Structure 1
């Protein structure tokens, strides 16, 4: 896995009262004369109310403007804070910091969170290379501030300060040396997820190397172990010193180490698994101040610890898909020394942040302030969301409100459908097939019962069908496909967990499953993963043969000639788009031949990456009438970025009614709260789309619906 550099909204830390150990110090003078404008960049000016004003002339063809400021000396620091405000963040694709030392540059990017004042945090680990690789390396002499063009319009940025800061929270980043073989990528993903959870909790953190046995851990108040399965005796001794001698707090996720559990006052964990996913953690009412009623988290594997010390308290139980609690499997346990969660860190949903802060405050009362600040801020934002929707024009009559849903348990389906219908969500895209294989809920009798429940509640039930990806397909079902050489390959000949679309049997498999579902009264076929895995595939022999039959090029050097930037790359990209378009046309025609009333739709990537990187030319699919509508997955953290991406999609669509914008309320990388979701709903309404779709049906979304969609 490549180094994780995913852009997330800049962390707003300006409102936090940071501990003394985290106090920030300024590193640049707020004098416009100190900044040198780059090529074709306007000169900076003094802002009337203080700070430095930078004009961003993005209505022109310029993609970037930048300014340099000399630095006298910048010693190694954990992070740089950029305190700024921007009147139109949608005009700015990203903001970059570049540090120059000895002729080399280190760069990092962040996104603007929203209009107005905010503080962006650029951690040392965010840079594409370490700005301070060695203690005796060349000093950093120049800082460059770059703004990159987003929307085609001018904007204004005001800089209020750039400061260096330290952290009192560390996240231990697992490496290949201290994880199981092949799990270093998983460890990094878990570390990034833990850091995002801490960011949302108002506790910004830095990564700590997992070879920490001889590191000085005293600067940290809190140390998080997101996935660190192999701890040596020296590491355990260091953690014991941290807890007992330095009175530090540990937060441990998905760990089997009995000695570590005993250090925190817990019984050693015991591995547990299940045939179906646990999907939710339910918390007892009034167990702790600030604890949410439930938290979404999906897994089939647990390492739950139990309370042993007098100070220890078990928090939450796992619910199975039928919402039945398992009291023998505590989700988390907390003591005066730290907390333990039985799986990897949850995504940073509002409920997950509430749980974490409530548990942390139970372990160390010093964190009660962060818990209460977060709760007050969330209450304020919820009230603002309700007021925003109440003051807006009424929702359009017959507004389409949809939701993607993982398989819904049959026992809870009637209640779920009634609850959704009460909130006006009358279109459900339920996952029913993967790679042409029907899931259990799509078999004849279960689907008939599901359709009956949908009719009773006034729900339009669509079959959400994952096309080429083998996502979540059992190994025994993948094996025969592999044996028949029907899977994609990357450019090095390595197998990818995707069906090759150039294989006739694969296409027929997907078409047949669509026909089967259409025959049984489903309201629509909703395709997903109807694309390539970016430019990673497919380069298998069958795909090569299919391409060579369409090209006039001789003596093809495969795959070098078709890779990105190669002589035949553009022709190969068009071939991929044509392959996907031909499949869409074939499936849509087959489904409509069975039942013309069945809607054919697809979840798609936004533009331009849908067409350029994924072979997903959905504007052409709409123009040709192959699809009735598409749902662009506009999973953005802010309304400004959501609206900008939606505008690009609408400009390419035949009509606004063909676009159902997907809002990432419970998406992994966004986890929106009520206010952020409400702002995106209003942005969709302002653009006259037929409605919107939430991703996805989960406890987090259910908790927001009373605010977002009142009865």
Structure 2
């Protein structure tokens, strides 16, 4: 046997091992086989473009949390998204794909690619996926509560996913290869129309998935159907998680992670940490056994649990108990709480997490609403009963409730109310002079109506605070009604030859216009503050703001430095959302030089546009923020993922006891 023979045999063996994935753990990043594409030109209305993007981003993040690597694209880049090495495409909100887009999708599936459709109205697309044309279907008996999966379902698929709706786009199997994987069910468990269907070309999901219900169930669902379409997804995901788990705590190996956490843990928590590390030992042994047999799909359950245990172990080794004095708040997007109908349970979780303040969204209060008018009725607020229960349950736990209200954005009021405001000249306009769904802060009637509405609500519902959001101008180019032109000329001393050309971006009077419109916003804040102090002086008044100052004055008119200096607010909440600690620190370093640090509550984006933080990242950002000796922190936002993953870790980090 000569050396050449052994060299050739080694090359062949390496090639074979690489093909079956045994060497993949030692290779560079696994190939990207999954694309997530959101509707843009395929939408019926461009008003839904941002929503389509946000839903696709949620799919992308959910897959990422499951260990599945993907790339996010708009449908304008569909050809690129479907190009090799892509083998699976999640097509999100492809309402009406064009003929050209359908050709690309058809070519992709004819070449062996798989598609998971997240809602569509297209009969042609449905036909390609082996289901009938979508038809709107209402539940005559009320609301469906979620979808129940069949007994025979893909590996790791949950048996139920919570998803409330009263209307779906109904489809049925069209071909013999198509079948129903899950059906809608109502509160009594009665089965309804199909919710998820499987076909030879992939899966069809009849409704856009929202970020509600069990976050872990959503993760397992998307991971299971993705791997059912392309089996190698399990192998790539398992090896990725195996590489990344220990890096969560800044280590490269399990032994390194153990040493790091034991070294930093307070003495009082060593026993609790040892128990969790012993559990990790068991899971790691089971994971190794699965890997040795090539059972990557089976290993995923161990890896998901290992990641959860690592994060909780890290929380045990942390301590934010003493640091978290002051405001420790969360934003909550529904007055129904996280457990609809059970505010005592929601309040208990908040209390166990250490939350002191809740900014609870209220949609029927503000400019354009009926609240605060002479004929206002408390029961006109749609969630009146839930709000009362929230206040009572939180107060019993020593938690303050603040009404989180959109100040100038009109998205929460009816189209008729928006039109009425526009007719009175109380809404901002776009370049064409068309009214935007945004109130003019300089209009005296808007100021009075907002203040009156807030006072009415606080007096009738007994909330501890008013927390305003959208106290700014919109990002798109906008202008005050041309009737305000004379006021601008008088205030600024500028003579306008062409309105709005002279005040547009790069217009000759743009800087003067930015200063003038910021003053109008200041006028609104000052007026509302004065009215609240006169009528409900005990009520805390806070405003969510952008963090980058003075850029936020130039771009959206937010001079929150002035609002803090004049003590118009008890505190501001700059939304310092960042994927890393350094980003939060940089913003806070600038902010404490601008405003009284005790009038600053740092907003941290746990689940935000900018990032999705795990519990370790959340804890580290909280600790970093509170080192600036500010008034507190506020976490965005309190949802089911927060309850499942963030709350247990915060409780451990604050109290050091088992969960």
**What residue is the counterpart of 2:333 in the other structure?**
406
Q: 1:257 offset after TM fit, Å?
A: 3.7
Contact 2:36 2:70 in 1 (8 A): no
Q: Is the 8 A contact 2:400 2:464 kept in 1?
A: yes
Distance 1:292 1:386, change over 3 A: farther
Matched residue, 2:227 = 361
- Structure 1 partner of 2:427: 487
Could you give the per-residue CA deviations for residues 218-254 of structure 1, whole angstroms, max 9, x where no partner exists? 76412332233335778657645644x5332111121
CA displacement at 1:206 relative to structure 2: 7.0
CA shift, 1:527, in A, is: 0.7
Larger strand percent: 1
Match of 1:551 in 2: 492
Distance 1:612 1:291, change over 3 A: farther
- Indicate if the aligned counterparts of 1:317 and 1:330 stay in contact, CA closer than 8 A: yes
Quick one: distance in 2 between partners of 1:401 and 1:330? 43
Preserved CA contact (<8 Å) 1:187 1:227: no
Q: Is the 8 A contact 1:382 1:674 kept in 2?
A: no
- What's the offset of the Cα at 1:602? 0.6
2:485 alignment partner, SS class: helix
For 1:561 and 1:596, locate their aligned partners in 2 and report how far apart those are by CA, in whole Å.
42
1:343 and 2:207 correspond: yes
The answer (yes or no) to whether the contact 1:173–1:187 under 8 Å persists in 2 is no
Deviations 1:365-398 (A, max 9, x none): 2222244346654555544433443333442264
Shift of 1:625: 0.6
Structure 1 contact 357–371 (Cα < 8 Å) conserved: no
Cα contact 1:294–1:699 (8 A) shared by 2: no
> Which residue of 2 is the match for residue 48 of structure 1?
none
* 2:561 counterpart of 1:607: no
Q: How does 1:129-148 map to 2 (within 5 A)?
A: none
CA distance in structure 2 between the partners assigned to 1:213 and 1:460 by the alignment: 51
- Verify: 1:435 aligned to 2:375, yes or no: no
Contact 2:407 2:469 in 1 (8 A): yes
Number of positions where the alignment pairs a residue of Structure 1 with one of Structure 2: 548
C-alpha separation in 1, matches of 2:165 and 2:486 = 41
Report the counterpart of residue 594 of structure 1 in structure 2: 535
Report how far residue 494 of structure 1 moved: 2.6
Structure 1, gaps ≥5 residues long: 1-17, 23-117, 120-164
1:469 aligns with 2:334: no
Classify 1:380/1:611 alpha carbon distance in 2 versus 1 (closer, same or farther; 3 Å): farther
The offset of 1:478, in angstroms, is 1.7
Decide whether the 8 Å contact of 2:335 with 2:386 is kept in 1.
no
Match of 2:286 in 1: none
- Tell me, yes or no, if structure 1 residue 630 matches structure 2 residue 572: yes
1:670 aligns with 2:611: yes
Cross-structure match for 1:640: 582
Greater Cα shift, 685-694 or 436-445: 436-445
1:475 CA drift (Å): 1.3
Q: Secondary structure at the match of 1:549?
A: helix
Please say if 1:618 is aligned against 2:570: no
Offset at 1:535? 6.3
Distance in structure 1 (CA, Å) of the matches to 2:457 and 2:305: 44
Distance 1:470 1:167 in 2: 41
1:654 counterpart (582, 596, 606): 596
**Residue in structure 2 matched with residue 254 of structure 1 by the alignment:** 119
Further displaced range: 195-204 or 269-278:
269-278
What is the deviation of 1:680? 1.6
Inter-CA distance 281–553: structure 2 relative to 1 (3 Å threshold): farther
Which residue is equivalent to 1:510? 450
SS in 1 for 2:601: coil
Q: CA deviation at 1:654?
A: 1.1
Could you list the per-position Cα deviations for residues 201-231 of structure 1 after superposition, in whole angstroms to 9, with x for gaps in the alignment?
A: 5433475867989999676412332233335
CA contact (8 A) 1:335 1:362 kept: no
TM-score under structure 1 length normalisation: 0.66
Pair 1:582-2:523 in alignment = yes
1:395 aligns with 2:336: no
Q: Which residue of 1 aligns with 2:44?
A: 180
Within a 5 Å distance, the mapping from 1:60-79 to structure 2 comes to none
Corresponding residue of 2:398? 458
The structure in which a higher percent of residues are helix is 2
Match of 1:698 among 622, 639, 642: 639
CA distance in 2, matches of 1:316, 1:681: 41
- Distance apart, 1:549 and its partner CA: 2.8
The alpha-carbon distance between structure 1 residues 390 and 318, as it changes in their structure 2 partners (threshold 3 A), is farther
Aligned to 2:512: 571
1:376-434 Cα offsets, whole Å, 9 max, x none, are 54555544433443333442264432111223227232321222122222311111234
Matching residue of 1:525? 466
Is the Cα–Cα contact under 8 Å of residues 35 and 81 in structure 2 kept in the other structure?
no
Provide the secondary structure at the position in 2 that maps to 1:250.
Answer: strand
Q: What's the offset of the Cα at 1:618?
A: 0.7
Cα 1:399–1:563 shift into 2, 3 Å: same
Q: Does 1:328 align with 2:192?
A: yes
Distance in 2 separating the partners of 1:412 and 1:182: 38
Residue deviations 1:611-640 (CA, integer Å, cap 9, x gap)? 221111111111111011111112222222
Aligned-pair CA distance for 1:347: 7.1
For 1:165-244, list aligned pairs within 5 A.
168-170=33-35, 174=39, 176=41, 178-180=42-44, 182=46, 185=49, 189=53, 193=57, 201-205=67-71, 207=73, 220-231=86-97, 239=105, 242-243=108-109
8 Å CA contact 2:144–2:184 kept in 1: the answer is no
- What is the CA RMSD across the aligned residues, in angstroms? 4.3
Report whether the alignment pairs 1:539 with 2:480.
yes
Which deviates the most, 515-524 or 531-540? Answer: 531-540
In structure 2, the gaps of 5 or more residues are 1-16, 22-27, 246-303, 372-378
Partners of 1:318 and 1:635 in 2: CA distance: 37
* Bigger mean CA deviation after superposition, 689-698 or 437-446: 437-446
Which deviates more, 559-568 or 304-313?
304-313
